[in-house]
Chain A
Amino acid sequence: MEPEHATLEQYVDMPELLARVCEDRELLMELLQLFQESFPRLRDALQLAAESGDANQIEKAAHALKGMFAGLSMKQASQLAAQVELAARADDLPQVHETMAKLIREEAGLLVAVESFVAGSMT
């Protein structure tokens, strides 16, 4: 699936997320907008840590991303971030880079899906 055709349901377990926000769609929109604002900072932090090769920083940045993804029921992204975190903890930098490549692809589609959903809900 090309990212430009992505729907939120492909990346987010919507029934779980809606249950977590108690079906409050206004809150859901607010959280997705917060995600749009917060995500670039966390993604850049992971990118910078990966470039520096600092396993401790990679682990922390991946942990933060994992928490945000998990909170929003972004299952695949959360699992990939968890794998990066584990690889960093094991100081396995090749594995970190390999998993990060997958994560970056997942994130690209996820971002498009979120943007499309938020834009669609506003019109």
Chain B
Amino acid sequence: MKILIADDELVSLRMLERTLERDGYEVVAVEDGRTAAERLCDPHGPRLALLDWMMPQLDGPAVCRAVRRKRSQRHVYVVLLTSKSSKEDIVEGLESGADDYLIKPFDPGELKARLRTGLRILELEDHLLEAREDMRYKATHDSLTSLLNRGTILELLSGEMNRIHRRKSPIAIVLGDIDHFKLVNDTHGHVAGDEVLRETGRRLLASVRSYDFIGRYGGEEFLAVLTNCGMDAAMKRAEDIRKAIGGSPFLTSQNPVSVTMSLGVFAGDTADYRSLEEILCEVDSALYAAKSAGRNCCRLAVPSNPR
């Protein structure tokens, strides 16, 4: 663990440095408050700090305030280590944002124990942030395919529509449905069916640009949002997707399974449309047209109710 120590008094600084190195810390030693604040405000800087109170340029409490103001992403655990020992000093130090307060000269055992407390708190924060990130991922992604889930892809689509409405740039929406998917489940079993869905997700992602969005729209339906993409490019992209799905069998744990996909494509300026629902209705009709045309093909949406 990296720890920053700040003290302009070199005997104290060296003693602290050696004590902490002996305990396995990676020590960053600085001799003034401004440098300490800069290092601690760096998002990649140390998250554990021992600060003297009286230092050139910025004193310990001012460093605490600067850190609390500027670095909010991850907590920096700050201990003030000072020979200022009155109750008023302790209150002022803690009020400035310090997490703990130690009186000089330090006792090595107490110092270690206090720092371990800091480490426990930082570890707890890490666990909480990981859990939050995990929950956020689960709330926004489909658990089977790891693609964006329906709610998230629609939210992104809505945001993109607002954005391109301002910029007057084209957008394309592709709705794809695996043909006869029920037959895959009935013939090869649900395990193979799930594998087909996962592989479909992988092939879809491989068929679009890194800044396009792909989500699982329903059971075997997938929605792609292609930003800044005109009609010709959208139809070509949809055709690429169709070929990527149908081009080679899916190797499941049961048998190779041949799969095809029908796709409906909306491409154009969303300013012509009243709502997201209307556009989704258009692209759904195009998908239906592709199904009616014999499946394994792409059809472009025909605006039915333009403004």
Contacts and interface: CB of A to CB of B under 8 A. Distances in A.
A20 B105 contact: yes
Contact of B12 (A19, A63, A67): A67
A64 interface: yes
Interface residues of A, number: 22
Interface string A33-47: 011011000000000
Given A63-B54, A71-B105, A38 B19 contact: no
Nearest to B7: A67
Contacts of B54: 60, 63-64
B83 A31 contact: no
Interface in A20-36: 20-22, 24, 27, 30-31, 34-35
A37 B104 CA distance: 21
Given A19-B108, A73-B105, A67 B19 contact: no
A34 B14 contact: yes
B108 to A, nearest CB: 6
Interface in B1-40: 8-12, 14-15, 18-19, 22
A71 B18 contact: no
A31 B15 contact: yes
Given A20-B106, A73-B105, A68 B12 contact: yes
B107 interface: yes
A27 B104 CA distance: 18
How extensive is the interface on chain B, given as a class?
20 to 34
The 6 A-B pairs with the shortest beta carbon distances in the complex, nearest first, are A70-B105, A67-B83, A71-B12, A71-B105, A34-B11, A27-B18
Interface of A: 19-22, 24, 27, 30-31, 34-35, 37-38, 60, 63-64, 66-68, 70-73
30 contacts: A19-B108, A20-B15, A20-B105, A20-B106, A21-B18, A21-B19, A22-B22, A24-B18, A24-B22, A27-B14, A27-B15, A27-B18, A30-B14, A31-B14, A38-B11, A60-B54, A63-B54, A63-B84, A64-B9, A67-B12, A67-B82, A67-B83, A67-B104, A68-B12, A70-B83, A70-B104, A71-B9, A71-B11, A71-B15, A71-B104
